[in-house]
Amino acid sequence: MKNSQSTHFIFDGEKVILSPDLWRVFNFLKEIEKEIETILGFDKKLESIRKQYLEMIELAQVMSQKIKENSIDFSFNFSEHPNTIVDKLKMNHPVRSKFIVLFANLDTLLCLNIAYENRTSDRKVIIDKATKDPCVIKSFLEKFCLNEENEWGRKNQERLKNITADNLRRLRNSLIHFFSVDKNLQVAEAVLDDKSRRIEQATDFRTKFISPEDLYEIIKGAYILMIKKWNDDCLDSLSKKSDEFKEKILSVNNIIKNYGAIPIKGDQINI
């Protein structure tokens, strides 16, 4: 029986126009993107709050002095000294945790690509290929992540030449399984980019670094390349009057439908 679901798909380089039957795919990916941007931006937001709080303390000190100068009868006791609150807003950068979340995102794209290329929504088949076939992983990383078509690669061509698919795979495995790093590719926060680049140059890339922001840009570039491929495949199938693209993209749709997590907000639970 022929599948009646609509799978029209257009990507013009900036926006995607797609059939309602495929909204599930992009809503799923969009929710992941929002969570990751929140995690990556958390320390910056916290530092911004900390700076604003310091300004409020300075304002309170000025107002306190004015109260004294004008002999105004006023008193207020904080439950704890304001400076202790400032200290609480300091945090260590959880760089390894950020990488683990980002690699989980990259694994998601890998699995969706396996579903697409193999026209399967069989979870076991997808997981086996994603975890047991190094060639599948290497091919995905080289095709979508580590090349000059990926915007990060285009902007960082010298670094691109010195970071391999095997480097990323080994770093991913070290972080996820041992909360550690691999000797071939070190991790560093983006604030240390200048120092990282100087060390890479001084060691002729025998020592090389990647930041969470680097990996996130690589992932976003991979996402765009996947969408471009889906667009091209859709147009090709339409020109050939073929169901090939429909079979592939519905495999992606079905794996997300059956296994993709859906965030549920408190106001959506009526108990």
Residue 132 covered by a domain: yes
In the chain, the number of structural domains is 2
| Residue 1 pLDDT class (50, 70, 90 cuts) | very low
First to last CA, the chain: 41
The reply to whether 141 and 245 lie within a common domain is yes
Interatomic CA distance for residues 112 and 256, integer angstroms: 9
Residue 266 covered by a domain: no
Both tokens of 164, joined, read: 């391999």
The reply to whether 57 and 151 lie within a common domain is no
Select from 29, 63, 88 the last residue of a domain: 88
CB of 115 closer than 8 Å to CB of 126: yes
pLDDT of the residue at 144: 98
The reply to whether 52 and 25 lie within a common domain is no
pLDDT of the residue at 268: 64
| Residue 261 pLDDT class (50, 70, 90 cuts) | confident
Select from 88, 114, 143 the last residue of a domain: 88
Residue 207 covered by a domain: yes
Res 136 pLDDT > 70: yes
Interatomic CA distance for residues 244 and 52, integer angstroms: 56
The reply to whether 106 and 217 lie within a common domain is yes
Residue 121 covered by a domain: yes
Both tokens of 26, joined, read: 């992009």
pLDDT digits (tens, 9 = 90+) for 17-49: 989 999 999 999 999 999 999 999 888 888 888
Interatomic CA distance for residues 148 and 152, integer angstroms: 8
Res 191 pLDDT > 90: no
The reply to whether 82 and 160 lie within a common domain is no
Res 263 pLDDT > 50: yes
The reply to whether 223 and 208 lie within a common domain is yes
Residue 271 covered by a domain: no
Kindly give the residue spans of alpha helices, DSSP state H, lying in 81-207: 82-88, 95-118, 123-132, 134-140, 151-155, 157-162, 165-178, 193-202
Residue 3 covered by a domain: no
pLDDT digits (tens, 9 = 90+) for 222-248: 999 999 999 999 999 999 999 999 999
Residue 78 covered by a domain: yes
pLDDT digits (tens, 9 = 90+) for 124-133: 999 999 999 9
The reply to whether 120 and 198 lie within a common domain is yes
C-alpha separations of 226 from 143, 144, 188 in Å? 9, 7, 28
The reply to whether 62 and 33 lie within a common domain is no
Q: How many Cβ atoms sit within 10 Å of the Cβ of residue 115?
A: 26
CA 52, 34, 255: angle at the middle one, nearest 5? 165
The reply to whether 213 and 130 lie within a common domain is yes
Average predicted confidence (pLDDT) for the chain: 90
CB of 102 closer than 8 Å to CB of 219: yes
The reply to whether 116 and 138 lie within a common domain is yes
Interatomic CA distance for residues 222 and 220, integer angstroms: 5
Res 200 pLDDT > 50: yes
Residue 217 covered by a domain: yes
| Residue 15 pLDDT class (50, 70, 90 cuts) | confident
Long-range contacts at 199-202 (CB < 8 A, ≥ 24 apart): 200/159, 200/162
3-class secondary-structure state, position 5:
coil
Interatomic CA distance for residues 205 and 160, integer angstroms: 11
Query: Burial code of 193-225, b = ≥16 C-beta within 10 A, e = fewer?
Result: eeebeebbeeeeeeebbbbbbbbbbbbbbbbbb
| Domain span holding position 66 | 47-88
Res 138 pLDDT > 50: yes
Res 255 pLDDT > 60: yes
Kindly state the average pLDDT of the residues 94-114: 95
Could you tell me how far CA 73 lies from the centroid of its own chain?
54
Res 271 pLDDT > 70: no
The reply to whether 242 and 143 lie within a common domain is yes
pLDDT digits (tens, 9 = 90+) for 144-173: 999 999 999 999 999 999 999 999 999 999
Interatomic CA distance for residues 17 and 3, integer angstroms: 21
The reply to whether 141 and 233 lie within a common domain is yes
* Residue 150 exposed, middle or buried by CB count within 10 Å (0-12, 13-18, 19+): buried
pLDDT of the residue at 8: 86
Segment among 5-14, 72-81, 154-163 with least mean pLDDT: 72-81
Res 68 pLDDT > 90: no
